[in-house]
Structure 1
Amino acid sequence: MLTQSQAWKVLEAVPDPEIPVISVTELGIVREVELRNGGLHVVVTPTYSGCPATEVIAQSIRDALVDAGAGAVTVETRLAPAWTTDWITDTAKEKLRAYGIAPPGGDAPVGPQPVRFVPRKLACPRCGSTDTVRLSQFGSTACKALYRCQSCLEPFEYFKPI
């Protein structure tokens, strides 16, 4: 049987199936790990309610924990509170940038904020230029948008803040 801290350590090695350079814990979708009824109960919150990778993630979590000796593992999908890009670790943001995906920027402001009609310019994760244009609101998944750098001409995805 694994302890909670051992289970968290195992989960740190479970990659996100759509962005394999970051783990499910770095992405912030693993919310809780509890010892329950002689096994482990893991709560995950998908990046959005229609995420097609939710079942693959749950199975990967089960497999990794069982392989590590956890015994019975249950995975609960919890939609509230909704996942937010604030849950992505700083380490994961750097890994996203190195992988060629522009991570969501900065800390979320606290309290009411003015509505902005001028889109923020994204920095290209390859060359750093902010001379970028959005090609599509959706990239390879609904949680990412597709951009192109006008300086180096390379396309890149942007992990949209939620």
Structure 2
Amino acid sequence: MRLRGRCVSVAALLACLAVMSACSAEPERPSLKAAAAQLVADGEKLVASRELTAAGTVTVTERADQDGELGCLKGQVQRFFRAQGDLAGSPSAHSAGNSAGLMLSALRNLGYDKIMDSLDIRDENLSVTLAQNPKTGIIFLVAVRRSPEPNIMIVGKTNCYERSE
């Protein structure tokens, strides 16, 4: 009887450890192709978001269609999504911080976490925010400035991957 109780306890403990290790394991990193596709999809959702259109309009200038090596170790590549545009109406009618905050809200709605913003270095003419998707590692930088044009700059990037992926 006592041995059966111990076996059940050990089995329960092992099951708990297995569940805990599965929950604490980092999610599997997507391939470069999958990360680039997600980067473009999230970038296009940001560009079309009501938060961005409330601040201004942007045009996509790069859709993660080529490998970039800048910022990666030798033999590694990453992909970029870039867009830029202008604030709606007069730039003096917009707060750079509020406009960048609107776009950060749109990224949060897409599952991104804020990793930095310019609250500590507040400047009414320039605001910068960074957000990262914890599942994919994709990072978006949004910069909004009152002048000169372009007023809105968005750069999204994947992690670095080995060139063969």
TM-score (norm 2): 0.31
Higher relative contact order (CA 8 A, sep 6+): 2
> Which has the larger Rg?
2
TM-score (norm 1): 0.31
